Amino acid sequence: WNAIANILDSNYVPVFKHWRLNSRHLGKLQGKTKAEIIGANGEEQVADWIQNFESSPPPLSSNEVKIDKRLKKVLPINVPLHESLKDMFDRVGAYFHDAISPQVTRNKKVVIVGHGSSLKAIINILEGIPEKVEGPEIIAGVPLVYELNEKLKAIKSYSLESRESEMGSKIAEDTVDKTTTEGKNSFWSKEMREMQIYSADQIIVPEDAPTILKNYCKEVIRANPSNIVVFSKDYFEKILVNRKGKKQAIII
């Protein structure tokens, strides 16, 4: 979230952290590799623990529990020693109804940052998917936007990366100078134009760059605008315009 807030100049936005958004507690399986777990328990048993909605892996013993001292005041008295998928869904669902939905009903736009398993629990609530049914796959690091009705049910959802990529393509079509870039006002040097670049895929954009920056770089490379300043202005203005006027939204 800090990276997103820096880009949007929104460090003033309040951030709430809560243990109920944690990923599923896997008990004695915590901290072990898949190979170690299967080797000790067998593939069939491990599949039951992981996939069966009401099955829980072996619990930690009380002396194995290690709690960060910063969390001791906010955790429940009886800290879970293991969880089934149902336990995790109940925990996340309670936090959604207690803390998140009141913010959304006040027309706040909420960004939820969490683990894949806990985010899937929220998606199931928004889409009305039964708990035992596997929800959509979540791609790490790619924001997923849900626009909701007054009952907080999803009316529209989309990946922010795909939406901005589509917008960038449209902007490129609207703003790119169709004439040759060989003229004196060309942004690209003669050496750059003669490089054997056939696709934006040949340009390496750092993986840790924010998604919006990566999409922008790809569109500049693809469009090869004659005036990069005008292109940039139009690109980001249209993104901002597109984001206005949406009252109830959750970004996961």
Counting residues of the chain whose pLDDT is more than 90, the rounded percentage is 13
Determine the length of the chain: 252
DSSP code per residue over the chain = -HHHHHHHT-TTS-----GGGSPP--GGGTT--HHHHHHHH-HHHHHHHHHSTT--PPPPPGGG----GGGTTTS-SS--S---HHHHHHHHHHHIIIIIHHHHHTT-EEE----HHHHHHHHHHHHT--TTS------TT--EEEEE-TTS-EEEEEEHHHHHHHHHHHHHHHH---S-S-STT-SS-HHHHTS----GGGS---TTS-HHHHHHHHHHHHH--S-HHHHHHHHHHHHHHHHTT--SEEE-
Q: What is the pLDDT of residues 42-52, one digit of tens each?
A: 999 998 988 88
Q: What is the pLDDT of residues 236-245, one digit of tens each?
A: 777 776 655 5
pLDDT at 171 over 50: no
**C-alpha to C-alpha distance for 154 and 123, rounded to whole angstroms:** 9
Least confident of 19-33, 65-79, 164-178, 197-211: 164-178
**C-alpha to C-alpha distance for 100 and 113, rounded to whole angstroms:** 12
pLDDT at 149 over 80: yes
pLDDT score, position 238: 76
**C-alpha to C-alpha distance for 169 and 223, rounded to whole angstroms:** 8
**pTM, full prediction:** 0.60
More confident residue, 75 or 249: 75
Q: Give the residue carrying structure tokens 């959509």.
A: 136
Q: Would you say 29 and 37 are in contact if contact means Cβ atoms under 8 Å apart?
A: yes
pLDDT score, position 102: 92
**C-alpha to C-alpha distance for 53 and 48, rounded to whole angstroms:** 9
